[in-house]
Each structure stands twice: as structure tokens, then as C-alpha cells.
Structure 1
Amino acid sequence: MSTAAVALRSAVHAALSSDGALVALLGGARVYDEPPRRPAFPYVTLGEARATDVSGDMAPTEEHQLTLYAWSRQGGHREAHVIAGALLQALDDAALTLAGHRLVNLRFSLADVRRDADGRTYHALVRFRAVTEPA
């Protein structure tokens, strides 16, 4: 993965961990790159990432797809929907600072909420699209 992808992921993690509305919904800064063995619900994980070179003639440019997951076991699907909304509020068109790179834009692209096979866990998948250039 590129250094831009690593910088983007780090900036997204920092932004979510310090977002007051999201932290309040989660009951703490429960935003994980890799969750602990037995995490307290609800929580958010950074999921899959994809980077594509979309460079033009002027400068190297990358397009990124970053997937976030919100995990809930309370209140049916409602809590997962509310947390997904908080992720959208925190990141859509956010002006994040990336180490060594410039974030051209960060936009919401997809959300999906579903119940897991255990019948009591809901998870929301929220995907964002970003474009980065070297700083």
C-alpha cells in the first residue's frame, strides 16, 4: 500500500477518535484499526482500503476507497444507523491533514446496515472515496 494510503488511514483514525459526537455515541474513543480481543460495544473499526493510481500529466494522484465498520448490539439496527450517520458527519468533505500528502477531497460513497448471523449484532459498513496528491 502507498504512503498516501497509510497517511489517510492514520488521519481518519485520529479524526474519528477525537470527534466528540462519535465518541459520545460509542461511550469512549472506541475506534480501532484492529479491535481488542473482547471489545465493548458499540465500536468502530477501520476496514478494507483500496488505492488506485489516477495520475494525470501534472502530478501523481491516488484515489482511495476506505471502508469503516460500526458494530452494535443494542437497540436493533437503530444504533448502527446512528453511528453510521456520525461517521458520515465526521468525515464527509473533512479537511484532514495527511503526513507528506495533500487530501484533495474525501466523500461519502456508500452505507449498508445489516444483522450478523448471531442474530444480535448489527454492523454498518460505511465507505468513503478520497483523492490524494503529494504535498
Structure 2
Amino acid sequence: MLTAPAALRAAIHQALTSDSGLIAALGGARVYDEPPRDAALPYVTLGEARIADASADDAPLQEHQLTLHVWSRQGGHKEAHVITGALLQALDDAPLSPAGHRLVNLRFALADIRREADGRTYHALVRFRAVTEPNN
């Protein structure tokens, strides 16, 4: 059985690569755990995760703080904002089914969109908070 973090990450990847709005914004299903060397921009990468015990009253809960990264070079901040919006549409309160676990909730936490030091690349960090519990 997959751990809750691995199962949630797989469910998020599946949701993103099958979301028509995000695919349209990216120009394809360009969602990577680690992007290929020659990956065409724009794309999304699954980033950092922080997991904490959130158990209460004998209910074994885990809280996940997840970061997705948007990478873009077209149209200034606009493309990064459009893709960020598509991520929110795809994931905020999404009814995902991580294998072996129940998703209690998945909510948008914050987005930070900025121009990178090269002056051409825009980078959005999009954070979500999720709570999971094991299926019984």
C-alpha cells in the first residue's frame, strides 16, 4: 500500500494530467515530477511537500502542505497567472481518491508569482493544504 503522501501525489498528478483546462493552458499534459531536460515551456512540476501528524480523538490524520511550480516564458506574468488559475480550478476542493486513503479536504493556501533572475522566466509557487486519513 502506498503511503498517504505518495498516494496523494499520484492522485494530484492524475487529476492535473486529465484536466482539460490545465492541459489547454499548458498546451499539453506537461505536468512532471521532474521535467525532462528538453521540456517545452510552460509546464508544471510537483514540488516540495511537508507532512505533519494531525491526529485527534483516535483518528489518524495527516496534514499535507504541497507546492506546485509553474514555469513560463510567454506574455509576461499573464501566462503564469492563467496556469495558476487552472491549477486552482483543477485542485481546490477536488474529490480525489488517493489509493488506500481518504482525502478529507484539499484547499488552496497561497500563490506567489514572480519573475526569475534571468528576466524572462516567470515562476509561480502554488501551495495547497490537504488532510488525509487511512481507509479502514
State the TM-score, normalizing by the size of structure 2. Answer: 0.96
Quote the offset at 1:81 in angstroms. 0.5
Number of paired residues? 134
Q: Deviations over 1:2-25 (max 9, x none)?
A: 810000000000000000010011
Quote the offset at 1:58 in angstroms. 2.5
Could you tell me the percent identity over the aligned residues? Answer: 76
In 1: Cα distance, 2:120 partner to 2:44 partner: 17
RMSD (CA atoms): 0.9
Paired position in structure 2 for 1:22: 22
In 1: Cα distance, 2:98 partner to 2:133 partner: 10
Quote the offset at 1:56 in angstroms. 1.2
Paired position in structure 2 for 1:95: 95
Q: Deviations over 1:18-39 (max 9, x none)?
A: 0001001111100000100121
In 1: Cα distance, 2:28 partner to 2:17 partner: 9
Matches within 5 A, 1:1-135: 3-135=3-135
Does the residue aligned with 1:96 lie in a helix, a strand or coil? coil
Does the residue aligned with 1:132 lie in a helix, a strand or coil? strand
Unaligned runs of 5+ in 1: none
Q: Which moved more, 1:4-13 or 1:56-65?
A: 56-65
In 1: Cα distance, 2:3 partner to 2:39 partner: 29
In 2: Cα distance, 1:112 partner to 1:54 partner: 26
Q: AA paired with 2:73?
A: R
Q: AA paired with 1:5?
A: P
Quote the offset at 1:57 in angstroms. 2.1
Does the residue aligned with 1:119 lie in a helix, a strand or coil? coil
